[in-house]
Amino acid sequence: MQTKLFLIALALTCATAVAQSKPADKKSDMADCPTHAEHTARSADHYSGVDSRGDKAMGFSHTATTHHFRVLEKGGAIEAVVNDPNDSANLTAIRGHMQHIAKMFAAGNFDTPMFIHGRVPPGVPTMKKLGSQIDYSYEETEKGARIRITTANATALKSIHEFLRFQISDHRTADKP
């Protein structure tokens, strides 16, 4: 009797799995979504807003520069570089902005990323709360600047990583999260 029940349960499980599997040639169920176009338009609007608000807040063009967000063992880094090594105006703007941001973050002020992204980025509340346990150090690089973010506190580290992963996603940098 138990064997029969087991075989029936196994047959039902297999039938369910087969019925729910996607055909190999079907690319995505997204196109079948009745509000797919609306979601896509909202995403495009969101990213356009991030880019335009970012340009305004940073004082340099996202198309003339490249941002990177690094998730590292003891924290992470925010980097910006000029795409053209002869672009002294954007190089100066990057360095000024990054110095300013390092000071703001150290003071617990995350207004700039909140303005750019239109929301409080993940990790920010904890980064504010544990601010005295996080170090933000500014460094110049050959083509720009970097803010190194480090901590020895495990909770702060988790929030820094959440913040940087959000930045990677919302700025579409393709950096390794």
Q: Evaluate if residue 101 carries a pLDDT over 80.
A: yes
Range from 4-13, 99-108, 123-132 carrying the lowest mean pLDDT: 4-13
**Side-by-side strand order, sheet with 75-82:** 65-72, 75-82, 144-151, 134-141
Q: Residue 177: what pLDDT?
A: 78
More confident residue, 169 or 52: 169
Distance CA 11, CA 53 (A): 56
Coil/strand/helix, residue 35: coil
State pLDDT tens for residues 105-142: 999 999 998 888 888 999 999 999 999 999 999 999 99
Percent of the chain with pLDDT over 90: 54
Q: Evaluate if residue 33 carries a pLDDT over 80.
A: no
Q: Evaluate if residue 29 carries a pLDDT over 60.
A: no
Average pLDDT for residues 10-33, to the nearest whole number? 49
119 DSSP 8-state letter: S
Of 52, 55, 64, which is closest to residue 91 (Cα–Cα)? 64
The tokens for 135 are: 């170090």
More confident residue, 73 or 24: 73
Q: Evaluate if residue 52 carries a pLDDT over 60.
A: yes
Q: Evaluate if residue 61 carries a pLDDT over 70.
A: yes
Average pLDDT for residues 91-118, to the nearest whole number? 94
More confident residue, 120 or 19: 120
Q: Evaluate if residue 59 carries a pLDDT over 90.
A: no
More confident residue, 51 or 65: 65
